[in-house]
């Protein structure tokens, strides 16, 4: 799978479709113009699933978007429920005990997972009938893998992408909506979009920890670690290390601006940035996620003014999530600009009227009397 999903060419071949899918989100959000986006988490779940599904099927997905809409809606709701229930299980002291006792939280989780897998299998079966040659699933099918194996892989990818990219998207619009000056700076300089994505993943990594088993005994920073010992890396902690990121708690997309050809402006060691891990076990959806995040944020900023209405904290569940729903109000940039133009037009009209009145007054009471007096004297 890596040679397809991590290939730059594979993503490039899907660019036009990706732009159409992001455009669909922009159109969908027009109904929220001037208001709070209803159920922002669900909207981004839905967008992430549609983006991945389109990437798997290829260009024909766009032509059959209405056919796939019910599948996307169902997957989004079911994946949300899987995440919610698995997060609750994650904080319990013994999941096995909960399972053995058959507690309601386990039954809900089990039911949600089963329903999600069934829904995934259904959409994959339909996808096999609609494949285009630029779709990633078409390329996987050429490997002659059993359909049930391919279906399982695709289901895993859809579930994983639904959670991680949806929450990263939420954090990105939240950070932009709470930092108005940064939002305007990014609009002026589109090259900062990449910095927005990197800063969001630095502050709120979609995988808070990376776990690896050491192939050999190592000594790391004075600690002796044995072969096959499990090591956890905290990406959340690494991303807020002042020794690497000056003003680490601040949202500064321009820190990722390169100075010359080597160093970044505000990153002292780029090797500490590992949101998708690295090497053979790096995230297989990294290129897709980056494509979706960069394109979506760019188009949202182009079309809407973003206002995060309330401050929220981060809580760690399976991934870093907002402690309460992100409340995002959007306003059409086009309408705002038209409104600003109309405002200045009205100001200009008032100014013209005032000037004309002033001229009339000057003519009537300053210039006219001497002229009239002079005319009378000449007549005499």
From CA 119, how far away is CA 114, in angstroms rounded? 9
Spatial CB neighbours of 110, under 8 Å, sequence gap ≥ 6: none
Closest CA relative to residue 171, chosen from 223, 141, 131, 208: 208
**Terminal-residue alpha carbon distance, the chain:** 108
Tokens of residue 334, six digits: 């086009």
Partnered with residue 322 across adjacent β-strands are 314
From CA 137, how far away is CA 5, in angstroms rounded? 10
**283 assigned to a ligand binding site:** yes
Q: Within a 13 Å sphere around the CA of 77, how many CA atoms are in the beta-carbon half? A: 7
**Helices and strands, number each (H, E), in the chain:** 16, 10
From CA 187, how far away is CA 184, in angstroms rounded? 5
Burial of 286 (0-12, 13-18, 19+ CB in 10 A): middle
Tokens of residue 113, six digits: 């997972």
Burial of 100 (0-12, 13-18, 19+ CB in 10 A): exposed
Closest CA relative to residue 285, chosen from 359, 207, 342: 207
Spatial CB neighbours of 132, under 8 Å, sequence gap ≥ 6: 57, 58, 59, 60, 61, 138
From CA 244, how far away is CA 269, in angstroms rounded? 6
Write the DSSP assignment of 103-169 as a string of letters: -HHHHHHHHHHHHHHHHHHHHHHHHHTS--TTSHHHHHHTTT--HHHHHHHHHHHHHHHHHHHHHHH
Residue whose entry in the numeric block shows the structure tokens 């609750």: 88
- Report the binding-site residues for heme: 283
Binding residues: 283
């Amino acid at each position: 799978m890596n040679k397809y999903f991590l290939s730059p060419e594979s993503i490039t071949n899907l660019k036009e479709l990706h732009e159409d899918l992001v455009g669909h989100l922009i159109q969908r959000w027009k109904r929220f113009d001037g208001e709070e986006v209803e159920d922002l988490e669900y909207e981004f779940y839905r967008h992430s699933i549609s983006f991945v599904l389109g990437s798997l099927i290829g260009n024909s997905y766009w032509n059959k978007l209405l056919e796939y809409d019910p599948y996307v809606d169902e997957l989004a709701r079911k994946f949300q429920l899987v995440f919610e229930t698995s997060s609750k299980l994650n904080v319990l002291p013994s999941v096995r005990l909960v399972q053995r006792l058959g507690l309601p939280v386990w039954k809900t989780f089990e039911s949600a997972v089963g329903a999600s897998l069934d829904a995934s299998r259904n959409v994959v079966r339909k996808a096999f009938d609609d494949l285009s040659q630029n779709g990633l699933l078409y390329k996987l099918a050429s490997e002659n893998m059993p359909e049930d194996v391919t279906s399982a892989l695709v289901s895993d990818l859809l579930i994983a992408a639904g959670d991680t990219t949806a929450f990263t998207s939420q954090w990105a619009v939240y950070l932009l909506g709470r930092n108005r000056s940064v939002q305007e700076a990014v609009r002026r300089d589109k090259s900062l979009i990449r910095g927005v994505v990197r800063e969001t993943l630095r502050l709120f990594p979609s995988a808070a920890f990376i776990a690896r088993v050491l192939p050999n005994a190592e000594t790391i920073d004075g600690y002796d670690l044995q072969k096959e010992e499990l090591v956890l890396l905290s990406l959340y902690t690494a991303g807020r290390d002042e020794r690497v990121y000056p003003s680490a708690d601040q949202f500064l997309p321009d820190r990722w601006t390169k100075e010359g050809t080597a160093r970044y402006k505000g990153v002292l060691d780029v090797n500490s940035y590992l949101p998708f891990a690295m090497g053979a076990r790096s995230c297989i959806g990294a290129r897709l996620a980056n494509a979706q995040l960069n394109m979506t944020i760019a188009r949202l900023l182009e079309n809407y003014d973003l206002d995060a209405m309330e401050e929220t904290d981060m809580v760690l569940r399976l991934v870093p999530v907002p402690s309460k729903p992100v409340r995002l109000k959007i306003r059409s940039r086009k309408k705002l600009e038209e409104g600003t133009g109309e405002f200045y037009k009205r100001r200009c009209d008032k100014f013209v009227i005032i000037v004309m009145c002033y001229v009339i007054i000057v003519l009537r009471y300053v210039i006219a009397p001497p002229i009239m007096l002079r005319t009378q004297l000449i007549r005499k």
